[in-house]
Amino acid sequence: MKFAFVSGARPQFIKLAPILKAFEELNLSFFHVHTGQHYDVSMSDQIFKDLQIPSPEYNLNVGSDSHAKQTAKMLVGLEEIFIKEEPDYVIVPGDTNSTLAGALTAVKLKIPVIHLEAGLRSNDWNMPEELNRIIVDRVSRIHVAHTLTGLIQLVKEGADEKFIILSGDPMVDSLYATVNREEPLENKLPVQDEEFLLMTMHRAENVDVKEKMETLYRVIKDSPLKILFPAHPRTLKKLKEFELYDKFMDLDNLILSEPMGYLKFSKYLSMCKGVITDSGGLQKEAFILSKPCITMRTTTEWVESLELGANRLLGFDKEKVLSSINEIKQGSFAVTETHPYGNGRAGAEITNKILTLIKDTSF
């Protein structure tokens, strides 16, 4: 029995790492295809070193392109690999174009799909990821839901409950393991002895809009806390295109850096006072490490973080964002509830449950 893993973006590598390690420990047959959707060194090559997992056996190197062209390149490349390797099951994590391409290629070749992070919904059809989640869940044979909310959503949409695995989230495994590693940070940034916020911003609907980037500038300018901002390559490109890069660089309370590797980023996440982001994954990681999160979006797939008071959806409302930053500084916006994403042993749990379900079921 052979398994194929398909991934292409930093959050997917983080989710897969504990499962890949569990597969190795059980001496299972598998191979890993990296689509090349994320190709910056810090967001791709370095992360495999930080997660202490082997580099994938295949890399399609699709790079950046429109959704249609990027997905089409993946479909062609994956089909060739699957025909050559003949996997019995294809495992896809998350909700990227890589997830969609892996699932569609597999079902066209009549290979059962196993979807990690199934049942997640933001109910925002303007998000490409929402379309990907729904399509992939519809064609998957086995669904791995990381929370009860996801399981309930899948059943509501008609999924067969006997093919739904409820497990912890492997991102918790990766984050706990990384933060607890006894490794010093190299090239430390000057935020060691003071309170700071950690910021990321990369979504096209945000960073491609000059007015939003101008609002972000004003938020940072008026923030009472220093902000560490490891900027996505797309974001840096847009700041320069909008002639805002120099203005950002001149802010006294901003540390603007290149993207960080996972180890370094996780260490700073564990040290920060709170988070400002438009990322789905970072909303969850912040909750896992009990960091209050300001999300500059109007919807989120991590509904538990809202319900439990760990996250606020504020869009680009400058006054609301600054008010919440002040609350973080004062300690009145703090995470007091335990996250629902598991205890950090999801990799082995998911692997064992997949093997048991396959053994007990004939497809």
- Map out the domains of the chain with their CATH numbers: 2-169+342-360 (3.40.50.2000), 196-330 (3.40.50.2000)
Segments of the chain scoring below 70 in pLDDT: 38-44, 184-193, 362-363
Q: What pLDDT, on the 0 to 100 scale, is given for residue 84?
A: 98
∠ CA(73), CA(63), CA(268), 5° rounding? 135
Task: Give the pair of three-digit tokens for residue 68.
Answer: 């249609």
Q: What pLDDT, on the 0 to 100 scale, is given for residue 277?
A: 97
65: CB partners within 8 A, 6+ apart: 73
Q: Which of 284, 274, 298 is nearest to 225 (CA)?
A: 274
Q: What pLDDT, on the 0 to 100 scale, is given for residue 164?
A: 97
- 31 forms beta bridges with 4
Q: What pLDDT, on the 0 to 100 scale, is given for residue 143?
A: 98
pLDDT tens for 210-261 read: 999 999 999 999 999 999 999 988 899 999 999 999 999 999 999 998 888 8
Task: Give the pair of three-digit tokens for residue 298.
Answer: 């109007």
341: CB partners within 8 A, 6+ apart: 146, 147, 168, 169, 171, 172, 284, 287, 288
Coil, strand or helix at 167 = coil
Q: What pLDDT, on the 0 to 100 scale, is given for residue 187?
A: 60
Coil, strand or helix at 254 = strand
List active site positions: 202
Q: What pLDDT, on the 0 to 100 scale, is given for residue 251?
A: 96
Q: What pLDDT, on the 0 to 100 scale, is given for residue 227?
A: 96
329: CB partners within 8 A, 6+ apart: 195, 224, 225, 273
Q: Which of 280, 279, 324, 321 is nearest to 302 (CA)?
A: 280
E strands in the chain: 2-7, 29-34, 58-59, 89-93, 113-116, 142-145, 164-166, 196-199, 226-230, 254-257, 274-277, 293-295, 311-313
